[in-house]
Amino acid sequence: MSVETWTAELLERGYCIIPRLVPDATIAGLAGDLDPIFAATPLSQGHFYGFKTKRFGRLLRRSSHVAALVMQPDILAIANAILGPACDRIQLNVAQAIEIHPGEVRQFPHRDHDMWAGDKGAREYLINVIWPLDPFTQANGATQLYPYSHGAAGLARQGVGEPVVAECEPGSAICFLGSTAHGAGANRTDRPRRAVVIGYSLGWLKPYENLWLSYPPEVARGFSSELAALAGYVQHRPNLGNYEGQCPSILLGDTVPDHVAAVDAMRPDQAEMLAEFADLQKRE
Ligand SMILES: O=C(O)CCC(=O)C(=O)O
Ligand SMILES: [Fe+2]
Protein backbone atom coordinates (compact mmCIF):
# COMPACT_ATOMS: atom_id res chain seq x y z
CA MET A 1 0.00 0.00 0.00
CA SER A 2 1.17 3.52 -0.77
CA VAL A 3 1.82 6.43 1.58
CA GLU A 4 -1.37 8.05 0.19
CA THR A 5 -3.46 4.99 1.10
CA TRP A 6 -2.06 4.83 4.66
CA THR A 7 -2.60 8.57 5.09
CA ALA A 8 -6.20 8.22 3.92
CA GLU A 9 -6.79 5.32 6.33
CA LEU A 10 -5.21 7.22 9.22
CA LEU A 11 -7.43 10.24 8.54
CA GLU A 12 -10.50 8.07 8.03
CA ARG A 13 -10.26 5.77 11.09
CA GLY A 14 -7.86 7.74 13.27
CA TYR A 15 -5.16 5.07 13.10
CA CYS A 16 -3.39 2.65 10.79
CA ILE A 17 -0.99 -0.23 11.36
CA ILE A 18 1.70 -0.53 8.72
CA PRO A 19 3.28 -4.00 8.72
CA ARG A 20 6.99 -4.75 8.10
CA LEU A 21 8.12 -1.16 7.69
CA VAL A 22 11.64 -1.59 9.08
CA PRO A 23 13.99 -4.59 8.92
CA ASP A 24 14.14 -7.07 11.83
CA ALA A 25 17.83 -6.21 12.29
CA THR A 26 16.97 -2.58 13.12
CA ILE A 27 14.50 -3.64 15.80
CA ALA A 28 16.84 -6.31 17.18
CA GLY A 29 19.74 -3.83 17.31
CA LEU A 30 17.56 -1.21 18.97
CA ALA A 31 16.14 -3.65 21.52
CA GLY A 32 19.68 -4.78 22.39
CA ASP A 33 20.86 -1.20 22.88
CA LEU A 34 17.89 -0.43 25.12
CA ASP A 35 18.19 -3.59 27.29
CA PRO A 36 20.66 -2.14 29.83
CA ILE A 37 18.78 1.17 29.95
CA PHE A 38 15.47 -0.53 30.73
CA ALA A 39 17.26 -2.56 33.40
CA ALA A 40 18.70 0.59 35.01
CA THR A 41 15.52 2.70 34.80
CA PRO A 42 13.21 2.78 37.81
CA LEU A 43 9.48 2.18 37.46
CA SER A 44 7.48 5.27 36.55
CA GLN A 45 5.00 6.86 38.92
CA GLY A 46 1.48 8.15 38.47
CA HIS A 47 -1.78 6.79 37.14
CA PHE A 48 -1.00 8.01 33.62
CA TYR A 49 2.60 6.81 33.25
CA GLY A 50 1.74 3.70 35.29
CA PHE A 51 3.29 2.18 38.41
CA LYS A 52 4.36 -1.07 36.70
CA THR A 53 5.80 0.61 33.64
CA LYS A 54 9.27 1.91 32.80
CA ARG A 55 9.80 4.89 30.52
CA PHE A 56 12.79 6.84 29.35
CA GLY A 57 13.23 9.49 26.71
CA ARG A 58 15.85 11.16 24.47
CA LEU A 59 16.12 7.96 22.48
CA LEU A 60 18.30 9.49 19.76
CA ARG A 61 21.08 9.44 22.37
CA ARG A 62 20.40 5.88 23.44
CA SER A 63 20.75 3.92 20.22
CA SER A 64 22.10 4.64 16.75
CA HIS A 65 19.09 2.71 15.34
CA VAL A 66 16.58 5.32 16.50
CA ALA A 67 17.47 7.78 13.71
CA ALA A 68 16.22 5.23 11.15
CA LEU A 69 12.82 5.13 12.87
CA VAL A 70 12.60 8.90 13.34
CA MET A 71 13.55 9.45 9.69
CA GLN A 72 11.59 6.54 8.20
CA PRO A 73 10.58 8.04 4.82
CA ASP A 74 6.98 6.74 4.66
CA ILE A 75 6.27 7.89 8.22
CA LEU A 76 7.74 11.33 7.50
CA ALA A 77 5.66 11.57 4.32
CA ILE A 78 2.48 10.69 6.23
CA ALA A 79 3.28 13.14 9.07
CA ASN A 80 4.07 15.90 6.56
CA ALA A 81 0.91 15.22 4.56
CA ILE A 82 -1.30 15.56 7.65
CA LEU A 83 0.54 18.20 9.72
CA GLY A 84 2.38 20.09 6.97
CA PRO A 85 -0.57 22.25 5.85
CA ALA A 86 -0.94 23.69 9.39
CA CYS A 87 2.70 24.64 9.99
CA ASP A 88 5.89 25.77 8.29
CA ARG A 89 7.56 22.47 9.28
CA ILE A 90 6.96 19.55 11.59
CA GLN A 91 9.13 18.75 14.62
CA LEU A 92 10.05 15.70 16.64
CA ASN A 93 7.67 15.66 19.60
CA VAL A 94 8.84 12.60 21.48
CA ALA A 95 11.17 9.62 21.28
CA GLN A 96 10.40 7.53 24.37
CA ALA A 97 10.79 3.87 25.29
CA ILE A 98 8.00 2.13 27.21
CA GLU A 99 8.19 -1.22 29.00
CA ILE A 100 4.94 -2.48 30.48
CA HIS A 101 5.50 -5.03 33.19
CA PRO A 102 3.33 -8.01 34.19
CA GLY A 103 0.40 -6.89 36.31
CA GLU A 104 0.25 -3.37 34.87
CA VAL A 105 -3.36 -2.23 34.50
CA ARG A 106 -5.00 -0.82 31.37
CA GLN A 107 -3.96 2.79 30.78
CA PHE A 108 -6.54 5.57 30.94
CA PRO A 109 -7.91 6.04 27.40
CA HIS A 110 -6.72 9.48 26.34
CA ARG A 111 -5.95 11.78 23.43
CA ASP A 112 -2.32 12.82 23.29
CA HIS A 113 -3.23 16.28 21.92
CA ASP A 114 -4.66 17.15 25.34
CA MET A 115 -1.11 18.13 26.38
CA TRP A 116 -1.75 21.38 24.51
CA ALA A 117 -4.36 23.94 25.51
CA GLY A 118 -5.35 25.14 22.02
CA ASP A 119 -8.79 24.61 20.50
CA LYS A 120 -9.23 21.11 19.13
CA GLY A 121 -11.03 19.74 16.11
CA ALA A 122 -9.99 22.18 13.37
CA ARG A 123 -6.60 20.55 12.79
CA GLU A 124 -4.37 17.75 14.00
CA TYR A 125 -1.50 18.69 16.33
CA LEU A 126 0.33 15.41 16.41
CA ILE A 127 1.04 12.07 14.74
CA ASN A 128 2.35 9.31 17.00
CA VAL A 129 3.99 6.09 15.93
CA ILE A 130 4.37 3.16 18.31
CA TRP A 131 7.08 0.73 17.21
CA PRO A 132 6.70 -2.57 19.10
CA LEU A 133 9.94 -4.22 20.21
CA ASP A 134 8.06 -7.36 21.27
CA PRO A 135 5.09 -8.95 19.50
CA PHE A 136 2.02 -6.97 20.59
CA THR A 137 -0.86 -9.16 21.80
CA GLN A 138 -4.10 -8.55 23.63
CA ALA A 139 -2.65 -10.47 26.59
CA ASN A 140 0.60 -8.49 26.94
CA GLY A 141 -0.94 -5.03 26.71
CA ALA A 142 -0.90 -4.10 23.02
CA THR A 143 -2.00 -0.51 22.48
CA GLN A 144 -5.78 -0.10 22.29
CA LEU A 145 -7.08 2.36 19.70
CA TYR A 146 -10.59 3.78 19.49
CA PRO A 147 -11.62 3.96 15.81
CA TYR A 148 -13.40 7.15 14.70
CA SER A 149 -12.73 8.86 18.04
CA HIS A 150 -10.65 11.51 16.23
CA GLY A 151 -11.20 14.86 14.58
CA ALA A 152 -14.13 17.22 15.06
CA ALA A 153 -16.69 14.42 14.57
CA GLY A 154 -14.93 12.00 16.94
CA LEU A 155 -14.49 14.67 19.61
CA ALA A 156 -18.20 15.50 19.40
CA ARG A 157 -19.19 11.88 19.95
CA GLN A 158 -20.58 10.73 23.29
CA GLY A 159 -17.88 8.34 24.64
CA VAL A 160 -15.13 6.68 22.63
CA GLY A 161 -16.74 3.33 21.82
CA GLU A 162 -14.95 -0.01 21.78
CA PRO A 163 -11.21 -0.24 21.14
CA VAL A 164 -9.32 -2.17 18.52
CA VAL A 165 -6.31 -4.03 19.93
CA ALA A 166 -3.20 -3.22 17.88
CA GLU A 167 -1.87 -6.78 17.72
CA CYS A 168 1.18 -6.80 15.44
CA GLU A 169 4.79 -7.86 15.07
CA PRO A 170 7.96 -5.83 15.72
CA GLY A 171 8.86 -3.91 12.56
CA SER A 172 5.28 -2.68 12.24
CA ALA A 173 4.32 0.94 12.81
CA ILE A 174 1.17 1.71 14.79
CA CYS A 175 0.24 5.23 13.66
CA PHE A 176 -2.45 7.38 15.21
CA LEU A 177 -3.52 11.00 15.37
CA GLY A 178 -3.18 13.35 18.32
CA SER A 179 -6.98 13.41 18.52
CA THR A 180 -7.41 9.62 18.48
CA ALA A 181 -8.34 8.11 21.83
CA HIS A 182 -6.02 5.24 22.80
CA GLY A 183 -4.13 3.72 25.70
CA ALA A 184 -1.86 0.84 26.58
CA GLY A 185 -3.61 -2.43 27.46
CA ALA A 186 -3.16 -4.37 30.71
CA ASN A 187 -0.25 -6.81 30.72
CA ARG A 188 -1.69 -10.15 31.85
CA THR A 189 1.37 -12.20 30.85
CA ASP A 190 4.48 -12.96 32.89
CA ARG A 191 6.84 -11.00 30.62
CA PRO A 192 7.31 -7.29 29.99
CA ARG A 193 6.03 -5.74 26.74
CA ARG A 194 8.34 -3.18 25.10
CA ALA A 195 7.87 -0.48 22.53
CA VAL A 196 9.19 2.89 21.51
CA VAL A 197 6.94 5.82 20.67
CA ILE A 198 8.12 8.39 18.18
CA GLY A 199 5.88 11.37 17.57
CA TYR A 200 5.82 14.45 15.36
CA SER A 201 3.96 17.67 16.05
CA LEU A 202 3.22 21.03 14.43
CA GLY A 203 6.49 22.96 14.50
CA TRP A 204 4.99 25.92 16.37
CA LEU A 205 3.98 23.89 19.41
CA LYS A 206 6.02 23.36 22.56
CA PRO A 207 7.29 19.79 22.11
CA TYR A 208 6.41 17.18 24.74
CA GLU A 209 10.05 16.30 25.19
CA ASN A 210 12.42 19.24 25.74
CA LEU A 211 14.40 18.85 22.52
CA TRP A 212 17.28 21.24 23.26
CA LEU A 213 18.05 19.77 26.69
CA SER A 214 17.63 16.21 25.40
CA TYR A 215 19.86 16.92 22.41
CA PRO A 216 22.19 19.82 23.24
CA PRO A 217 24.36 21.21 20.40
CA GLU A 218 27.30 18.90 21.12
CA VAL A 219 24.94 15.94 20.60
CA ALA A 220 23.00 17.38 17.65
CA ARG A 221 26.32 18.06 15.88
CA GLY A 222 26.41 14.32 15.23
CA PHE A 223 22.98 14.34 13.53
CA SER A 224 22.34 14.68 9.80
CA SER A 225 21.07 18.18 8.94
CA GLU A 226 17.55 16.75 8.36
CA LEU A 227 17.53 15.03 11.75
CA ALA A 228 18.95 18.12 13.51
CA ALA A 229 16.17 20.20 11.93
CA LEU A 230 13.50 17.77 13.18
CA ALA A 231 15.12 17.86 16.63
CA GLY A 232 14.80 21.62 17.00
CA TYR A 233 17.82 23.08 15.20
CA VAL A 234 15.90 25.14 12.68
CA GLN A 235 13.58 28.14 12.79
CA HIS A 236 9.87 27.82 12.21
CA ARG A 237 9.12 30.77 9.97
CA PRO A 238 8.47 33.54 10.90
CA ASN A 239 11.42 33.72 13.32
CA LEU A 240 10.16 31.18 15.86
CA GLY A 241 12.80 29.22 17.76
CA ASN A 242 15.62 31.56 16.76
CA TYR A 243 18.96 31.84 18.55
CA GLU A 244 20.15 35.47 18.67
CA GLY A 245 17.88 36.19 15.72
CA GLN A 246 19.41 33.42 13.62
CA CYS A 247 18.79 29.80 12.86
CA PRO A 248 19.80 27.71 15.89
CA SER A 249 21.77 25.50 13.51
CA ILE A 250 24.59 28.09 13.83
CA LEU A 251 25.30 26.31 17.12
CA LEU A 252 26.16 23.15 15.21
CA GLY A 253 29.04 24.74 13.30
CA ASP A 254 32.71 24.59 14.26
CA THR A 255 32.81 28.12 15.65
CA VAL A 256 29.96 30.09 17.15
CA PRO A 257 30.49 33.87 16.88
CA ASP A 258 29.93 35.93 20.05
CA HIS A 259 27.86 38.51 18.21
CA VAL A 260 25.65 37.87 15.22
CA ALA A 261 23.19 39.97 13.23
CA ALA A 262 19.53 39.19 13.66
CA VAL A 263 18.27 38.08 10.24
CA ASP A 264 14.62 37.81 9.21
CA ALA A 265 13.35 34.29 8.56
CA MET A 266 10.00 34.96 6.89
CA ARG A 267 7.68 32.77 4.87
CA PRO A 268 7.64 33.77 1.18
CA ASP A 269 4.21 35.42 1.51
CA GLN A 270 5.42 37.47 4.47
CA ALA A 271 8.69 38.42 2.77
CA GLU A 272 6.68 39.65 -0.20
CA MET A 273 4.33 41.69 1.98
CA LEU A 274 7.27 43.24 3.85
CA ALA A 275 9.08 44.07 0.59
CA GLU A 276 5.97 45.79 -0.80
CA PHE A 277 5.62 47.84 2.37
CA ALA A 278 9.33 48.78 2.27
CA ASP A 279 8.93 49.90 -1.36
CA LEU A 280 6.00 52.08 -0.36
CA GLN A 281 8.10 53.71 2.39
CA LYS A 282 10.83 54.55 -0.09
CA ARG A 283 8.39 56.23 -2.45
CA GLU A 284 6.67 58.25 0.30
O1 LIG B 1 2.32 2.09 25.33
C2 LIG B 1 1.27 2.27 24.74
O3 LIG B 1 0.68 1.36 24.15
C4 LIG B 1 0.61 3.63 24.70
C5 LIG B 1 1.20 4.62 25.64
C6 LIG B 1 0.54 5.94 25.54
O7 LIG B 1 -0.42 6.12 24.86
C8 LIG B 1 1.08 7.11 26.27
O9 LIG B 1 1.87 6.91 27.18
O10 LIG B 1 0.68 8.24 25.94
FE1 LIG C 1 -0.83 8.23 24.58
Mean pLDDT score across all residues of the chain: 98
Share of the chain above pLDDT 70, in %: 100
pLDDT of residue 207: 98
Q: Residue 174 CA: which ligand 1 atom is closest?
A: 3
pLDDT of residue 66: 98
Q: In this structure, which residue's CA is closest to atom 5 in ligand 1?
A: 184
Tell whether the model's pLDDT for residue 129 goes beyond 90.
Answer: yes
Tell whether the model's pLDDT for residue 28 goes beyond 90.
Answer: yes
Tell whether the model's pLDDT for residue 284 goes beyond 90.
Answer: no
Q: Residue 53 CA: which ligand 1 atom is closest?
A: 1
Mean pLDDT to the nearest integer, 164-191: 98
Testing ligand 1's pocket by substitution, the residue of 197, 201, 209 carrying the most ligand atoms inside 8 A of its CB is: 197
DSSP string, the chain: --HHHHHHHHHHHSEEEE-S-S-HHHHHHHHHHHHHHHHHSPPP-STTT-SSEEEE--GGGT-TTHHHHHT-HHHHHHHHHHHGGGSSSEEEEEEEEEEEPTTPPPPPPB-GGGGS-S--SSS--EEEEEEESS-B-TTTT--EE-TT--HHHHHHSSS--PPEE--B-BTBEEEEETTS-EEPPP--SSS-EEEEEEEEEETTSPPSS-HHHHS-HHHHTTS-HHHHHHTT-S-BTTTBT-BTTB-GGGGGSS---SS--------HHHHHHHHHHHHHHHH-
The pLDDT tens digits of the residues spanning 254-268 come to: 998 899 999 999 999
Tell whether the model's pLDDT for residue 150 goes beyond 90.
Answer: yes
Q: In this structure, which residue's CA is closest to atom 9 in ligand 1?
A: 49
Ligand minimally distant from the alpha carbon of residue 55: 1
Q: In this structure, which residue's CA is closest to atom 10 in ligand 1?
A: 112
The pLDDT tens digits of the residues spanning 73-103 come to: 999 999 999 999 999 999 999 999 999 999 9
